[in-house]
Structure 1
Amino acid sequence: MQIKRAVSSSSVEASAAGNPYGALQKIRSGERGSLTDAVEETLREAIVKLVLEPGMMIDKLAICERMGVSRFPVSAALARLAHAGLVEVLPQRGTRVKPISLEDIRQHLFIRSALEVETVRTVALMHDPATLEALALNLDQQREAVTSGQRLRFYGLDLAFHEILFDSINQPRVKEIVAVSRNALDRARRLVASPERLVHTLEEHECIFRAIRNGHADMAANAMHEHLDQVVDELHRSASERSDLFEP
């Protein structure tokens, strides 16, 4: 039996009420060996969605009570999240959600840029009809999401757009490396996911697609490079507005 877990859609109300743990749902019964996985996934989602904000001290007892689990799976899950760079242990103080590091972001974007730029260059040279059709459909759905203001749906479609590119070149190790870096960027991307940024992201994706469709490898590579550079610029603006969420 698979354990059910999720971050509640009422996270905004819970945070407004001063209880971010209220966004965590109880874990239903299942295989005991999966408890740590379920707690980890729930906490990761809450951290990435900024329900548990960067810099916030973590109350293990509150998590245990809210999710209906013992301290062991919570501690084990937090140890995994520390290894992933999402939480950190402060000696004599406890565990907190790790503030966002612009330096870490720059390094992860360097990795993404190096691999994704070459990926779109390869895709443009392939000119595969199935890939072009999948990208075109994805962009249609992105436009619908932007028009209707569906930020979460757009976020998923954004990820899918890049997934299509990686799947088309059939390089699973490259895809895996980029996935690790992308996961590390998820919190930061949520901060810049304003309605205006969604429009700009769509425009950048369309520019990448046009270059791929026309077989212009260098133009596609440059468009992807500029697309990823925009993330850094937006984050610097966010860091100046919400310095409490970022490492000094």
Structure 2
Amino acid sequence: MSTSPDTSSVISTPYDALHKIKSGERGSLTDAVEAALREAIVTLALEPGMMIDKLAVCERMGVSRFPVSAALARLEHAGLVEVLPQRGTRVKPIMLEDIHQHLFIRSALEVETVRGVASLRDATVLDALALNLDQQRAALKSGQRLAFHALDLAFHEILLDAINLPRVKEIVAVSRSALDRARQLLASPERLVHTLAEHERIFEAIKNGKTDLAAKAMHDHLDQVIAELRRSTQERPDLFAP
């Protein structure tokens, strides 16, 4: 008598977010493993504080221990994992002090950025921002969280490109990357609605050439991130470190 396969023993794990490396995949194995682990960490599939099972990563991705160890060394340098003596490697908790510092950097630079953009009132920039906001509304209406996140980033990129200061853009990009995990915690439907409204206020001030109002709107927008993060630390204190 034949029996159906027992699927009840199949257990979902955080490593399901990793994909098996395909033969002939471009780039080095270390690059591929690093990219997959980084994505899993940033999207919180591998949560802050979680110990990383190197063998599980090897088996899931179909690679040896060397590229996994090399990838983790890179991620340690990037501040996403940490090595605990006698214990192994774990996903680094989100550091509140780091978040405050990176938000300070972003606020200082992006507030002055929108002030400059509002004084320019460049028609091409205004058109690009208006189109971006239309796309944000569509993504929000259809519940496309990841698409909205990409458009959120693009909105800020348009502003930074408009002032043509590559060094400023580079510094903001570093701080924004450091906030990726924290931003995932804020991706509730309610937060996305507020983000869109804040972007619209920034745009209206820029369109009307209101430099101080544009600066205040950007400052308030980034301040809301801090307020939301404080609420997140109360709801999930296990994900954060002081």
Aligned match of 2:74 in 80, 92, 95? 80
Cα distance in 2, alignment partners of residues 143 and 17 from structure 1: 38
- The CA RMSD measured in Å over matched residues stands at 1.4
* Structure 1 match to 2:135: 141
TM-score (norm 1): 0.91
Secondary structure at the counterpart of residue 241 of structure 2: coil
1:244 to 222, 226, 238: 238
In the alignment, structure 1 residue 48 sits paired with structure 2 residue 42: yes
Q: Tell me the residue number matched to 2:84.
A: 90
| 133-142 or 36-45: bigger deviation | 36-45
Counterpart of 1:99 (choices 93, 97, 107) is 93
User: Aligned partners of 2:128 and 2:27: how far apart in 1?
Assistant: 38
CA offset at residue 29 of structure 1? 2.5
Alignment of 1:128-207 (within 5 A): 128-207=122-201
The residue type paired with residue 85 of structure 1 is G
**Amino acid of the structure 1 residue aligned with 2:238:** D
Change (3 A) 1:120 1:32: closer
Q: What SS is found at the alignment partner of 1:28?
A: coil
For 2:119, the equivalent position in structure 1 comes to 125
1:88 match: secondary structure: strand
1:113 pairs with 107, 115, 127, which one? 107
Which deviates more from structure 2 when the two are superposed, residues 35-44 or residues 134-143? 35-44
Q: Tell me, what secondary structure is at the counterpart of 1:96? A: strand
CA distance in structure 1 between the partners assigned to 2:31 and 2:117 by the alignment: 36
* Mapped partners of 1:27, 1:101: distance in 2: 31
CA distance in 1, matches of 2:102, 2:11: 34
Could you list the structure 1 runs, at least 4 aligned residues long, displaced by more than 2 angstroms after superposition: 29-33
* Deviation sequence 1:27-81 (CA, Å, 0-9, x none): 1233786221111111111101110011100011111111111111111111111
Q: Which has the higher contact order (CA 8 A, sep 6+)?
A: 2
2-structure distance, mates of 1:93, 1:22? 23
Mapped to 2, the partners of 1:17 and 1:122 lie a distance apart of 53
Change (3 A) 1:166 1:117: same
The reply on whether 1:30 has 2:4 as its aligned counterpart is no
**Structure 1 gaps, min length 5:** 1-15
1:70 aligns to 2:70 (yes or no): no
| Displacement after TM superposition at 1:221 (Å) | 0.8
1:168-190 Cα distance to aligned partner (Å, 9 max, x none): 11111111111111111011011
Task: Please list every run of 5 or more consecutive structure 2 residues that lacks an aligned counterpart in the other structure.
Answer: 1-9
Question: Percent identity, aligned pairs only?
Answer: 78
Secondary structure, in 3 states, of the residue corresponding to 2:181?
helix
Separation in structure 1 between the aligned mates of residue 26 and residue 203 of structure 2, nearest angstrom: 46
Equivalent in the alignment of 1:8 = none
CA gap 1:55/1:220 in 2 versus in 1, 3 angstroms: same
Secondary structure at the aligned position of 2:23 is classed as coil
State the structure with more CA Rg: 2
Between the aligned partners of 2:109 and 2:73, the Cα distance in structure 1 is: 29
Rate the CA distance shift 1:133–1:75 in 2: closer, same or farther, 3 A. same
Separation in 1, partners of 2:22, 2:85: 33
